[in-house]
A and B are shown apart, each in its own frame.
Chain A
Amino acid sequence: MALRWCLRGLALGRAIGSSSSRLQLQQSTNNALFSARSLPQALQWWRSRADAPLPPSSPLPLIHLPPPDESKHRGSAEGDPLTFSAFSSSVDEVEVAKFAAIADTWWDSDGPFKPLHSMNPTRLSFIRSALCRHFGRDPNCAKPLEGLKIVDVGCGGGILSEPLARMGAVVTGIDAVEKNIKIANLHAELDPVTSSIEYRCATAEKMAEEQQTFDAVISLEVIEHVSDPAGFCKSLGDLAVPDGAIVISTINRTIRSYAVTIVAAEYILGWLPKGTHQWSSFVTPEELVLIMQRASISVQEMAGFVYNPLTGEWSLSDDTSVNYVACGIKRNP
C-alpha cells in the first residue's frame, strides 16, 4: 500500500518524504537495477531526486509551456500506473493521433524523428550486447542475432526493426497506427535484407491474446505514450517465451528530463513537435523496475543514454536521469 502511495506521489510530482516508503521501494527493487552504480551512490541519487523541487510551470516567460502535471488527461487512462487493465487496450488515442500526423517523416533523419535516428546506434549497441550476453551469442560477428525471433512493439516506421533484421533477427514489427505500418512496409521492401520483416498493425495486447511468443520483446520509447504502462508491460511479458528477453527504453521523470525533452527538444530546439511528450507520463527507473517485476520480468541490466551536444552523438552511461533502457528476463511461470 505504501508503495502504491509512493508511486502515486511520484506521479503527481510530489516529493517523497516518508523514509518507510523509500525503504519499501529499495527492498522491492531488484538489486540488478543498480548494476551500473553502487548502492550508496544510488541512494544519494535517489535522495537528491526526492528532495528536488517541482519544475517551474513556465521556466521561460516567452514560451508557453504545458505545466508538468497531470492536468492533460489521457485517453483511456486509469490513473493508477499499477492497475492492470488486461482487457482494455493500452492505446492512448490522443498520443496515437500525434504519431499518425507525422508518419510520412519517419525516415527523414532531419525530421521530427531525428532524436530517434541519432540515438539508434547507441541503443542498438546496448541491445546487441545485452542479447548476446543473454543468448550466449558471439558479439564479434556481423549477424549476432541470427535466427532470434524478435517483436518490436510500437515500431513506428521501422527505425529499429530494420537494423535488427540486418543483425540477423527474424523481426515482427507492430504498431497501433496503421499509417506507420504502411510506411514501415514500404521502406523495408525497398531492400531485400529488410523485406523479410513482418509488419502488422496491432497492439501488444492483441498479439498476446493470440498467444504469439518471441525470444525477445523490444519496445523503445513507447511506454511513455501508452495509457496504462503496467498493463502494457504485462502484455510485453506475455509476448516473451520463458527466459526470453524484454527490452524497454523510455524517459525518466526528473527535472533534467523536463528541461531536456520538453523545454529544449520541443520548445527551444524544435526537434520534436510541441506536445510530443507529457512529462507526467514519464516513468522513473524505479517505477519501471516495479511494473516489470509485477509482469514477471526480472530486470538484469539498465543503462542511461546521454547526448553530447558538441558531437551530436549519444553514448551509454550510468546516468539514467533522462533517457534510459532496461533489459529484463521473463521468469518461468
Chain B
Amino acid sequence: MKSKIEKKLLSQHQLNAVAAGCLSRNYGRTFCSVVEGGESSSCPKAEDKTDQGEKFERTSKAEPYDIAIVGGGMVGMAFACALSRNPMTKHLTVAIIDNNPALGFKTSFKRSEIPDPRVSTVTPATISFFRDIGAWEYVLQQRHAYFDKMQVIFPFIGLGLHWVGYTRYNARDVGKECLGCVVENKVLHYSLLSSFQSGAELQWALYPARLSSMTVPSPRSVSSRIMSQLEDSPSGRFVKLDLSDGNTLHARLVVGADGSKSNVREMAALKSTQRSYSQSAIICTVEHAVENDCAWQRFLPSGPIALLPVGDRFSNVVWSMRPEEASAHKSMDGDDLAKAINRAMDDGHGPQPGSGVLGGYVERISSFTSWWGPSSSAAEPFRAPPRVTAVASERMVFPLSLMHAHDYVTRRVALVGDAAHTVHPLAGQGVNMGFGDASALAKVIAEGVSVGTDLGELTLLKRYEKERKAGNATMMAILDGFQKAFAVDAGPLNLLRAAAFHGAQYIPPLKRNIISYASGDQKWPLFS
C-alpha cells in the first residue's frame, strides 16, 4: 500500500507541473501559485478591482480540483459565477479549460462600434439569474435592448389560399415589465467574466488549452475492485483530463460546457439525438432610420425571419432558409440584402392582414372574440416592421439542427448548455436554457456541499438532470413543432396549425402561457 504521504507528494508534483504550464501560457495575467505541504492558502488577490484582466489568481492544492469546467463560453462562465456567489460553493477549487482568447482579455466595447451579429434574446428568468450572480450590472453598462412587444406574422397556406395573420404579444399581458432583452453574446460573456473576477473567492485556475482526452473511472471500479485499486494512481477515483498543451489534471466533477460539438459528451459516451432541418440561418446586424422597440418574427414559406432590436438604431436579423439560398444571401450585395430583408419582413409574401377579403374576415373574428377576452393586446392593430436602411455587419451562416442528449449526467460528469441541447435560434431560447442549466446545477452542487456529498456522485447529479431535462425537452418539442408547423410543404396541416397558433391570440390564458414559457418562468406549458 502506498502511504498517504507518497500519494500527496505525487499529486503535488503533478500540480507543480500544471502551475508551470499555466505560467508559461498565461495571457498577460498574473498567475500566482501557492503550494505548501499539501495545505492550501489562497494567494493575495489583485488589489486593483478595475483592472479585471489582471485578476486571475491561482491557488494550487496537492489535490484534484473539485470541479473542472470544460468550455468557458457563456454557459460555462455563468456556472462558474454562480458557484463563486454561493456561500456553500465559493470555497471550491475550480479549473476552467478553454483556449478561447475571449477568456484572456479584458475587452471594453465602445458604443460607437457596430453591434456584433451574434446576439441572444435573454428572458426575464435569465435576467434575474444574472442579477443574482452579479453580472447584470455589467450588462447594463454596455449596449442592450429591452423590448416589451413582440409581433409574430405567419402565413395561412392551404385550400389554394394564401394570406397572413399576426399575433402581438405584450409584456403587460403577463404583468411583466419586459418580454426580454437583446444583448450581444460578447457583452454577456464579458459581463460574466467581469462578475466572476471581481467577486470570486473561488480558488480557480484557467487552462488556456483544449481538452484532448478524458478518463472517467468506471462505475464499478470503486465498489467491487476497490481492493485491486490499491496500487493505482492516487486519483483513480477521479476523472483524468488530458489537455492539448500536455497538462494533466484530475477532478471530482467535470462539467461539459463545451458547446454543441461537446467533446465531454462524446468522451463520456453520453448519447444524443440529432435532427437537422436542411436549413441554414443567416445572421447580420442591420440599421434603421428609427429605433426599433419590438421583436418581430415572420414565418415565411421558406423559413422564419426575426428582426430583434439590439439598441441604438440597430437590429439583428436571424433568417432561416435553404442552405443554397443562405449562401446566395451571404454573398449578395449589401443593398440587395437590405431589400430582400425588407421584402421578407413586410411585403412580397402575400397581402397584409386586413387588406384582402379573408384578411378582413380574420379581423372581424378578432374584434368579435376580443370581447370576451381580457387580453389587452388582442385588439391592437397590425404594425409594419421598421424598414432596414443598410446591412451594418458581416454576415454569418449556420446550419440549423436540433440536438438533445439522452442523459445529461453520468458518474462525475454533467453537461450544461449547448453541450446538452442545441436548438435552432427560432425563439431565442438556446442560451436561456443553458443559463437555466447553469443555475440549477450550481444549486444542486450547493445542496450536495451542505451535506458533505462527493460532488461526482451520480445520485446528486441525477437531481440536476431531473430538474432540467423534462423542461428542456418540452421547450425543444415546441420549437420543433413551430419549425414543422411553418415549414414548406406541410400541406393542409399547415392551415390547422397556423389557425391553432393564431387562435392563441384570442385565448388569453393560453397566450399568457406561451409567453411565460418563452420568458422562462414556467415549467409546464399547455401544449408540447
Give A contacts to B, CB under 8 Å. Answer: 104-109, 111, 117-118, 120-121, 124-125, 128, 140-143, 162-167, 183, 186-187, 189-193, 195
Contact = CB atoms under 8 A, between A and B. Distances in A.
Contacts of B450: 125, 128, 142
Interface string B230-251: 1000111110000000000000
Nearest to A183: B226
Contacts of A109: 457-459
Interface size class of B (residues with CB under 8 A): 35 or more
27 contacts: A104-B223, A105-B223, A107-B226, A108-B220, A109-B458, A109-B459, A121-B448, A124-B451, A124-B452, A125-B450, A140-B87, A140-B88, A142-B89, A142-B91, A163-B451, A163-B453, A167-B452, A186-B229, A187-B222, A190-B222, A190-B234, A190-B235, A190-B237, A191-B64, A192-B8, A192-B11, A195-B4
Contact of A125 (B7, B38, B451): B451
B396 interface: no
Contacts of B521: none
A162 B452 contact: yes
Nearest to B232: A190
B489 interface: no
B91 to A, nearest CB: 5
B222 A166 contact: no
Nearest to A196: B4
Given A166-B449, A192-B62, 8 more contacts: A107-B223, A140-B87, A143-B91, A183-B226, A186-B227, A189-B4, A189-B7, A195-B4
A111 B87 CA distance: 34
B454 interface: yes
Contacts of A106: 223
Contacts of B184: none
B451 A128 contact: yes
B226 A166 contact: no
Contacts of A128: 450-451
B258 interface: no
A118 B459 contact: yes
Contacts of B90: 142
A109 B460 CA distance: 12
Contacts of A164: 452
A125 B38 CA distance: 29
Contacts of B11: 192
A111 B229 CA distance: 19
A187 B229 CA distance: 10
A106 B224 CA distance: 9
A173 to B, nearest CB: 14
- 10 smallest CB-CB distances across A and B, nearest first, come from A163-B452, A166-B452, A108-B223, A124-B451, A190-B237, A192-B63, A167-B452, A107-B223, A121-B451, A142-B91
Interface string B373-409: 0000000000000000000000000000000000000
B310 to A, nearest CB: 40
Contacts of B62: 192
Contacts of A191: 64, 237-238, 252, 454
Contacts of A124: 451-452
B379 to A, nearest CB: 45
Contacts of B4: 189, 195
Interface string B8-45: 10010000000000000000000000000010000000
Nearest to B233: A190
A124 B236 CA distance: 26
A204 to B, nearest CB: 23
A183 B224 CA distance: 10
Given A190-B234, A191-B237, A120 B451 contact: yes
Contacts of B7: 189, 192, 195
B87 A121 contact: no
Given A118-B459, A128-B451, A192-B8, A186 B226 contact: yes
Nearest to A105: B223
A162 B222 CA distance: 15
A108 B454 CA distance: 14
Contacts of B64: 191-192
A307 to B, nearest CB: 14
A104 B98 CA distance: 40
Contacts of B230: 186
A190 B225 CA distance: 13
A162 B63 CA distance: 16
A68 B397 CA distance: 73
B206 to A, nearest CB: 23
